[in-house]
Amino acid sequence: MELVYPPVILAAKAMFKTLGLRINVQGAEHIPDRGGAVIACTHHSYLDFIFCGFGAQPAKRLVRFMAKKQVFDHRVSGPLMRGMRHIPVDRSAGKAAYEEAVRQLRRGEVVGVFPEATISRSFTVKELKSGTVRMAAEAGVPILPMAVWGTHRLWTKGRPRNLTKRGIAISIRVGSPFAADEDASLDTSTKQLRGRMQQLLDGIQADYPSKPADGEDPWWVPGHLGGTAPTPEEAAELDNRHREDD
């Protein structure tokens, strides 16, 4: 029985209403109504897990996220994370988290993963870790690429939180499921996943209903679309310089 997750979802929806967020979900029909699956989501904001999970709500699925162990150790977030049966990741000993994720997938759970591992400062898709493809292949479940856009305008790395501005648009798009090619290398399948995630992101960026106002710093728009966000190369340099946890 789920005692913690449903109230948390209701609280999140109340927050969405308070902020007047304009949330648009497309492609939720790709999420299976039963059975295991891995959701592989883009990562631009500290709040992405909330909206990635919201993207599975039309299918009435609860997503078990892999998240850093420190979140589980916190006196407030820890009990909630454990109550929602999310998966703690100790970066110094990641094997246990990987094995738990595979067990949950085999039990028919949907596991949420951010394969870039850290927030993308360039608002493009970074190189992916191969663990997402590996766990899906081992558990014998499909991978669902997902892109979320607009969440970084609320709270992202290197910018102050903005939880007072109302009416920000949040776009969530789920791609069609695919299976890692058993005859291909992990590297090949991971590149395929990255391509699918980038294609989804390109689509929702092109369709996004908001543009920077005249005179506004377009910091939240990627450089290749005319914004002032760091290029992928500049973002990598910033990450190397700061080495902060996400």
Q: Please compute the mean of the pLDDT values over residues 106-121 and round it to a whole number.
A: 97
Q: Please compute the mean of the pLDDT values over residues 51-58 and round it to a whole number.
A: 97
Position 184 scores a pLDDT of 72
Q: Please compute the mean of the pLDDT values over residues 7-23 and round it to a whole number.
A: 96
Q: Mean pLDDT in the chain? A: 94
Entry pTM: 0.95
Map out the domains of the chain as residue ranges: 19-62+102-242
Q: Please compute the mean of the pLDDT values over residues 223-233 and round it to a whole number.
A: 97
Position 185 scores a pLDDT of 85
Q: Where are the alpha helices (DSSP H) in the chain?
A: 5-19, 48-55, 69-73, 77-83, 95-106, 131-139, 186-207, 232-242
Position 183 scores a pLDDT of 66
Q: Are the C-beta atoms of 120 and 233 separated by less than 8 Å?
A: no
Does position 38 have pLDDT exceeding 70, yes or no?
Answer: yes
Crossing angle for the helix pair 5-19 and 48-55, to the nearest 10 degrees = 110
Percentage, residues of the chain above pLDDT 90: 90
* Structure tokens belonging to residue 241: 């310089």
Q: Are the C-beta atoms of 104 and 87 separated by less than 8 Å?
A: yes
Does position 246 have pLDDT exceeding 70, yes or no?
Answer: no
Q: How far is CA 132 from CA 53, 66, 111, 155, 239, in A?
A: 17, 11, 10, 25, 22
Position 175 scores a pLDDT of 98
At 68-95, the pLDDT tens digits run: 999 999 999 999 999 999 999 998 778 9
Q: Please compute the mean of the pLDDT values over residues 33-54 and round it to a whole number.
A: 97
Does position 132 have pLDDT exceeding 90, yes or no?
Answer: yes
Q: Rg (Cα) of the chain, in Å, rounded?
A: 17
Q: Which of 104-118, 172-186, 193-207 has the lowest mean pLDDT?
A: 172-186
Position 6 scores a pLDDT of 96
Q: Is 97 exposed, middle or buried (0-12, 13-18, 19+ CB in 10 A)?
A: buried
